[in-house]
Amino acid sequence: MKKPKEKGWLQDYLEFRKDLFKEITLQRKASHPEHSLYRILQPLGLMYGQTVGELDVPSADSWDEKDKMKILLAESLISSALLFQNKPINTAEDMSEAFVKSLESIGNFYNRIFPELSTPVKTLFGKKRSPLEVAERILDKRIERTANFKENFWTSFFHNSLLFLDVFIFGQWIHTNADRIVTDFFRYEREELRFSVLKVIAAASHSDEVVHYEEQKLVEYFILGTDLPSARKKEALTIFNKGVSMDEINLPSENSWILKKFYLEIAILTAWADRKVEKDEQAFLRDFCHHLGFTEDDLENSMIAVEGFVLEHWHQLEYLQDKQDFQRVSEHYISRMAKVAERNKGRLLKEIQDREVLMQLLVKARSQELTPEEAEQVRIALIQLMKTIPTFVIISLPQRFLTLPILMKILPKGIFTAP
């Protein structure tokens, strides 16, 4: 497959990923499109402005960070288009038609809502560009405007997590007739949503009445990463310095589950910026969760999602490489997971009893040591077991972090007793 900086990379990518996209179209029947989109975006890292997710693309290891982010953005936009479209996809021709429509939508969306990325549909010589060519050029431009990825976790997060808002607004926009009034509305919404992100950061930063150095840097990174007019940048700094109440955080009248999830996880990461969540910050997160219309279970699920993502990619996130911090975060994560597992003990027990090979290996493990191959077989089976719990249907589990010893700590005590 061509590198994402080479001409024609998007065509190569679509051909390579056609089986994945076919699978995505089937998910529309299984769950709400926004839940499916979150399940795609969260483990890839796009919501957190990172490129640490598994791309599963040949030679991806040799790509630079902007090449990887370009692929993640392309995959997220096309996935969104496929998940939210109404027409069924049953044949190769249907899929091809869906691709063309998705690419046309991407080109029209950025040309109208992001005028700074405008790409004419014709060349200087009057030759018409295909929807694929327009989309490829626009994605190139969009990623060129993101941050230099050679900074720390937080620089990338608050510059590049705004790409998630591209995907969110795109998912709304493709259902509309893109006349001038609609275009003006979405341009306004783009700025308002970005400003709301800043308000979330400000509210979370002031929640313990101490604005830490890390939190101050977050706002600087965020403001640098937006295209706000200078007057609004001054307003942003004032908001951050004085703080903001939850009621002042603007949510669209028809706010969505995935947008609220994004705001909640931004608040969690802001509170978590100094790698400790104090009591006042915990209280703020609970209140903010209720403000968004979520339950405390939703908050716990997002804490699990954020901590699981960070633990899975600890070795790739230079800022986070500290043994003490790793120990603290992993202990919190294991505790949260164990509580969810305990609440679902009956379901887990039934799943174990229904898996004969797993049960045999667990019985064997009580009297003798498993071979490395058997231990790995048990580890994979237990992760699959955890995925049967409703909480983990949407949340991605950290595969590398969940070693067999850790899984044994998470699963309820006494669950492996032989029947």
**DSSP bridge pairs for 122:** 128
**Of the candidates 346, 354, 381, 342, which has an alpha carbon nearest to the alpha carbon of residue 365?**
381
DSSP three-state, residue 186: helix
Amino acid at 58: P
What is the rounded CA–CA span in Å between residue 70 and residue 288? 32
Per-residue confidence (pLDDT) for residue 253, from 0 to 100: 58
What is the rounded CA–CA span in Å between residue 217 and residue 221? 6
Residue with more model confidence, 225 or 280: 280
What is the rounded CA–CA span in Å between residue 133 and residue 138? 9
135, 7 in Cβ contact below 8 A?
no
DSSP three-state, residue 237: helix
Amino acid at 110: Y
Domains and CATH numbers, the chain: 1-172 (no CATH), 179-313 (1.10.3680), 335-410 (no CATH)
Per-residue confidence (pLDDT) for residue 26, from 0 to 100: 66
Per-residue confidence (pLDDT) for residue 201, from 0 to 100: 82
- Tens of pLDDT along 19-29? 777 777 666 55
What is the rounded CA–CA span in Å between residue 64 and residue 60? 9
- Among the residues of 344-397, which ranges form H helices? 345-353, 356-365, 372-386, 391-394
Q: How far does CA 218 lie from the centroid of its chain?
A: 19
pLDDT of 149 higher than 60: no
What is the rounded CA–CA span in Å between residue 5 and residue 7? 7
- Tens of pLDDT along 259-311? 999 999 988 888 776 666 778 888 999 999 999 999 988 999 999 998 888 88
Angle at 323 between CA 319 and CA 328, to 5 degrees: 95
> What is the chain's Cα-based Rg?
23
Per-residue confidence (pLDDT) for residue 16, from 0 to 100: 82
pLDDT of 415 higher than 80: no
